[in-house]
């Protein structure tokens, strides 16, 4: 076969296209096209492999007016269901590396798109964190799932978990618990609802009960961004530590120094769960000391390292000694083991951490699904006018009413929460409201009552999106579209949690042109099945090298 110049090749391919269009060639045949070379007058034969013929066919279709894109629908379930069925995408369709997905939301900045919608369907029933983990050696379907006994933690702890119907560790627990037990500083990054709270509390309580001491200072501090989360973590910690006589106390801000002091009048707790403001007040007033601290946990790391808290956190770090080597965590002058936990990790965290510990000492546990859209939760997006949101919301609430599941309605500001509350009141929708500008006394107990099922609808700001365990929530509604990827991930993460009954659903109203870019990124990530763009961090996968070496 002779070589053919590029220009000539293009001519021949166009000839081939004509040939295939007029059905002279069947798909799968090898195409032979004859031309004449100028030098020898011999015919040139180009053999076109079947794959290339198919590609040419696809490009032809794309260029013709009938189709403006490659067909993305295959037999089977749909991953993306759009108002325009031509933009549907099947679960079985995989976008090529360089193939640009055609987005339903591509024209959504224009008002012409009003009324358009698409859904990202759930493609599995269980959360990824509850699936069997291949890299833990359970890579065959027949291998039994591991239980908490595999960590060699005290049997009473395992029994308590059993009584709460918690039998098999989640993937993040499998990786995190042994590392904390070994005394490592750890950065644990795993998707929402994957069981991170027990991943750090279990090894901490195990170690504290094994090393019981009388009349000591606080031995473990957990710092969280909100009072509601502090109460929640306290309740989990108490449920697993009471049997050992360990004392767990909570200190939340907004209720004055007197209130914080009360928590320490009868001695120092073994474990303190606190918001940064309350903890700092307790430290400055010398109600507590962190001199004998064994564990310092920063939960919801992205919020805690955000500029609004970073200053407080640095101040707190100045009261504690954080270990930089494994050997520093034992002995009389031991330093604290640092545990940093979160479901989203934007960049910049390393900068603050490097001021308190040797970054090389931190072992990283990063879940495969970090910053991914949850595959077991249906997520719908509705492009509507701002004025229509209240009616759409009312309709969605009516539809969900029969199921008696909890519904979270997220707004971007406290004033919208209040306004929406009044509007729903007029419509006769029973609900509660939770936002950060409420006085502490008013805020007290709202989330607990919602969790107990006193009402089904909670209208809230993002203070309810971080860390709160919302097993009874079946629907999250973004009344206001979130401003950042992280807010979207955390809000959506209130449904489909480990140990819950099912996937749940997220419904987002998209009203402003400036919302559309984020919608497009979410849709792109869904179609490509990648993590959300713009969420890449310096977090590395845990490496065996770090694992075996001393910190």
| Residue 498 binds to ligand ATP (criterion: CB under 6 A) | yes
Among 56-64, 73-81, 196-204, 302-310, the segment contacting ligand ATP (CB under 6 A): 196-204
Q: By C-beta, is 48 or 301 nearer to ligand ATP?
A: 301
Q: What share of the chain is helix, strand, coil (3-state, %, to 5)?
A: 40, 15, 45
Task: Output the residue with the shortest Cβ distance to ligand ATP.
Answer: 499
User: Which CB atom, from 224 or from 260, has the smaller least distance to ligand ATP?
Assistant: 224
195 binds ligand ATP (CB under 6 A): yes
Per-residue contact flags (x/-) with ligand ATP for residues 12 to 51, judged by CB under 6 A: ----------------------------------------
Query: Which uninterrupted H or E stretch holds 536?
Result: none
The correct pick among 183, 467, 503, 504 for binding ligand ATP (CB under 6 A) is 467
256 Cβ contact partners less than 8 Å away, ≥ 6 residues apart = none
Distance in angstroms (rounded) separating the CA atoms of residues 482 and 198: 28
Out of 89, 133, 170, 337, the only residue in the binding site for ligand ATP (CB under 6 A) is 170
- The CB-of-262 to ligand ATP minimum distance in angstroms stands at 27
Which has the closest alpha carbon to 21: 73, 64, 65?
64
367 binds ligand ATP (CB under 6 A): no
Q: Are 88 and 73 in contact (CB under 8 A)?
A: yes
Name, in order, each residue with C-beta under 8 angstroms of 523's C-beta and a sequence gap of 6 or more.
80, 101, 103, 104, 105, 118, 120, 381
* Residue among 77, 76, 59 nearest 68 (CA): 59
Task: Output the smallest distance, CB 161 to ligand ATP, in A.
Answer: 8
Which range, of 45-53, 97-105, 444-452, 490-498, touches ligand ATP by CB under 6 A? 490-498
407 and 457 in contact (C-beta within 8 Å)?
yes
Number of residues that bind ligand ATP (CB under 6 A): 20
**451: contact with ligand ATP by CB under 6 A:** no
CA pseudo-torsion sign 297, 235, 413, 535: positive
Answer yes or no whether residue 166 interacts with ligand ATP by CB under 6 A: yes
Check residue 493 for interaction with ligand ATP (CB under 6 A): yes
9 is written with which tokens?
């090749």
For ligand ATP, give the closer residue by CB, 186 or 198.
198
Comparison of 299 and 523: residue with beta carbon closer to ligand ATP: 299
Sequence-ordered strand ranges (E) for 224-335: 248-251, 271-274, 295-298
Nearer to ligand ATP, 299 or 328 (CB): 299
296: closest CA among 332, 260, 339, 352?
A: 339
Length of the chain: 551
What is the nearest approach in angstroms of ligand ATP to the Cβ of residue 533? 21
3-state secondary structure 394-454: HHHHHHHHCCCCEEEEECCCHHHHHHHHHHHHHCCCCCEEECCCCCHHHHCCHHHHHHHCC
- Which window, 162-170, 380-388, 389-397, 473-481, contacts ligand ATP (CB under 6 A)? 162-170
| Position 497 contacts ligand ATP (CB under 6 A) | yes
Determine, following the binding rule CB under 6 A, whether residue 128 of this chain makes contact with ligand ATP. Answer: no
- Whichever of 13 and 199 has its CB closer to ligand ATP, that residue is 199
Residue 237 binds to ligand ATP (criterion: CB under 6 A): no
Non-local (6+) Cβ contacts of 57 within 8 A are 20, 27
- Answer whether 469's CB lies under 8 Å from 452's CB: no
Q: Residue 192 interacts with ligand ATP (CB under 6 A)?
A: yes
Give the Cβ contact number of residue 267 at 10 Å: 10
Q: Does 469 bind ligand ATP (CB under 6 A)?
A: yes
Contact footprint for ligand ATP (CB under 6 A): 166, 168-170, 173, 192-198, 343, 467, 469, 471, 493, 497-499
């Amino acid at each position: 076969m002779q070589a053919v110049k590029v220009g000539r090749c293009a001519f021949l391919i166009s000839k081939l296209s004509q040939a295939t269009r007029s059905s002279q060639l069947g798909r799968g045949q090898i195409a032979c096209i004859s031309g004449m070379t100028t030098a020898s007058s011999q015919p040139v034969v180009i053999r076109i492999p079947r794959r290339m013929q198919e590609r040419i066919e696809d490009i032809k279709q794309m260029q013709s007016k009938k189709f403006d894109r490659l067909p993305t629908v295959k037999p089977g379930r749909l991953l993306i269901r759009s108002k325009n069925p031509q933009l549907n995408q099947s679960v079985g369709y995989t976008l090529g590396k360089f193939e640009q997905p055609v987005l339903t939301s591509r024209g959504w900045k224009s008002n012409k798109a009003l009324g358009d919608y698409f859904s990202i369907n759930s493609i599995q029933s269980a959360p990824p964190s509850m699936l069997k983990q291949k890299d833990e050696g359970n890579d065959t379907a027949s291998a039994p799932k591991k239980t908490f006994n595999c960590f060699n933690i005290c049997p009473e702890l395992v029994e308590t978990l059993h009584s709460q119907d918690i039998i098999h560790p989640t993937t993040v627990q499998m990786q995190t618990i042994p590392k904390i037990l070994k005394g490592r500083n750890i950065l644990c990054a795993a998707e929402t609802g994957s069981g991170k709270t027990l991943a750090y509390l279990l090894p901490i309580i195990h170690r504290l009960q094994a090393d019981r001491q009388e009349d000591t200072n606080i031995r473990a501090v957990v710092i969280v961004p909100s009072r509601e989360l502090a109460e929640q973590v306290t309740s989990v910690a108490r449920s697993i530590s009471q049997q050992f006589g360990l004392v767990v106390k909570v200190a939340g801000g907004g209720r004055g120094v007197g209130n914080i002091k009360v928590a320490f009048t009868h001695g120092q707790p073994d474990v303190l769960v606190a918001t940064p403001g309350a903890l700092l007040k307790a430290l400055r007033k010398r109600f507590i000391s962190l001199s004998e601290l064994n564990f310092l946990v920063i939960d919801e790391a992205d919020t805690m390292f955000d500029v609004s808290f970073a200053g407080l956190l640095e101040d707190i770090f100045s009261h504690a000694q954080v270990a930089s080597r494994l050997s520093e965590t034992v002995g009389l002058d031991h330093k604290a083991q640092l545990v940093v936990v979160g479901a989203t990790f934007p960049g910049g965290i390393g900068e603050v951490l490097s001021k308190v510990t040797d970054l090389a000492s931190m072992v990283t546990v990063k879940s495969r699904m970090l910053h991914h859209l949850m595959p077991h939760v249906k997520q719908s997006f509705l492009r509507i006018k701002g004025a229509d949101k209240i009616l759409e919301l009312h309709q969605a609430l009516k539809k969900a009413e029969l199921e008696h599941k909890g519904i979270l309605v997220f707004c971007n500001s406290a004033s919208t929460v209040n306004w929406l509350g009044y509007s729903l009141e007029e419509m006769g929708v029973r609900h509660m409201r939770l936002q950060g500008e409420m006085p502490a006394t008013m805020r007290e107990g709202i989330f607990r009552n919602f969790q107990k099922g006193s009402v089904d609808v909670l209208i809230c700001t993002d203070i309810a999106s971080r860390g709160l365990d919302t097993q009874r929530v079946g629907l999250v509604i973004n009344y206001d579209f979130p401003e950042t990827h992280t807010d979207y991930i955390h809000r959506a993460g209130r449904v489909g949690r480990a140990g819950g009954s099912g996937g749940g659903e997220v419904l987002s109203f998209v009203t402003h042109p400036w919302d559309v870019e984020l919608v497009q990124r979410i849709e792109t990530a869904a179609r490509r099945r990648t993590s959300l763009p713009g969420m890449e961090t310096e977090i590395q996968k845990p490496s065996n090298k770090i694992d075996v070496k001393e910190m």
